[in-house]
A = this chain, B = another copy of it.
Amino acid sequence: MTSALSAQRSLGDYQAYLFDVDGTLIYPGRPIEGAIEAVLALKRASKRTLIVTNNSTLSRAGMAAKLRSFGFPIQESDVGTAVVATAVFIAQECPGARVQVLGSQGLRDELRRAGLEVRDDGAPVDYLVVGCDPEVTYERLARAMRAALAGARFIAVNQDRLIYDPQGSYPGSAMFVGAIRGATGREPDVVIGKPSSLLLQEVLVLLGLPASECLFIGDSLTTDVLAARAVGMPCLLVMTGVTDHATLRASDVQPDYVLESVGELVEYLEPAPLPRRSGH
């Protein structure tokens, strides 16, 4: 089943291609076969390419550097992350706000870059921002809890449960959001990352394009496809990550296109027949 939209339009006909990272461009620790070639082919075809990731620990520069280390032709300006979107969201809502962070150095860096005042001294704050914190300590948890109890606006960078790594699975932001919820009973006031629409809304502003001119490419029905749906953006599901065919068949959430791998995208950048869902 393809939607009316995808039936009318070739996979190669969009102006911009937005990529999820984990499970779409890279496996844990290495690039997915054909992914680098696909991004290169899009650039040759003068398409805009943008990385759109829920990653809550890396700054924009850090994410670009990570992808370049795998061989992807990605600059800092090609990256939109939930970290940056969080910083922009708060800076728009309350310029210069005081922020308590339960999260990584990359998150702190981007918040400061957006003109926000990151406080770690227990002073009153306007916002509590929670992402994945690989350097978590009990004192950090205590400061975050106190900020939540004192009524700071509670922003979750995302609610991803798992981060896949060559060494095994690691806890994502959901664990830290759950810690604050458990200690205070509070839910996040705002969630920035996918499946929330906020990340993609900010990316569209950055691109200056309507959603219908962009194709979102990801591996997750519950984050990528839902986020694309929420902003009316066509979406392509790849089967190299968290979704298998049985899950896809059973799901109420359906993408516009399905490919086994992002590498197959290259075929559609030359004159080609209408895309069909493969792998069934």
Name the one of B141, B161, B162, B170 contacting A175, with C-beta atoms under 8 angstroms: B141
Evaluate contact between A149 and B137: CB separation under 8 angstroms. Answer: no
A146 sits at the interface (CB 8 A):
yes
* A120: min CB distance to chain B, Å: 15
Chain B nearest CB from A250 CB (Å) reads 19
Which of A135, A171, A176 counts the most B-chain CB atoms under 10 A from its CB? Answer: A171
A42: shortest Cβ distance to chain B, in Å? 35
**Contacts of A133 on B, CB cut-off 8 Å?**
138
Contacts of A181 in B (CB 8 A): 178, 181-182
Cβ 8 A contact of A184, one of B161, B177, B184: B161
Which residues from B are CB-within-8-Å of A275? none
For this complex, into which size category does the number of interface residues on chain A fall?
A: 20 to 34
Q: Tell me how many chains of this kind the complex includes.
A: 2
**Residues of B contacting A61 in the complex (Cβ-Cβ under 8 angstroms):** none
Q: Which residues of B contact A149 (CB under 8 A)?
A: 169
Min CB gap A179→B, angstroms: 4
A133 CA / B136 CA spacing, docked (Å): 12
Say how far A175's CB is from chain B's closest CB, in angstroms: 4
In the bound complex, residues from chain B placing their C-beta under 8 Å from that of A178 are 178-183
Given contacts A136-B137, A138-B136, A141-B136, contact A161 B146 (CB under 8 A): no
User: Using Cβ atoms and an 8 Å threshold, which residues of chain B touch A172?
Assistant: 183
A154 to chain B, nearest CB (A): 13
Residues of B within 8 A of A170 (CB): 138, 142, 145
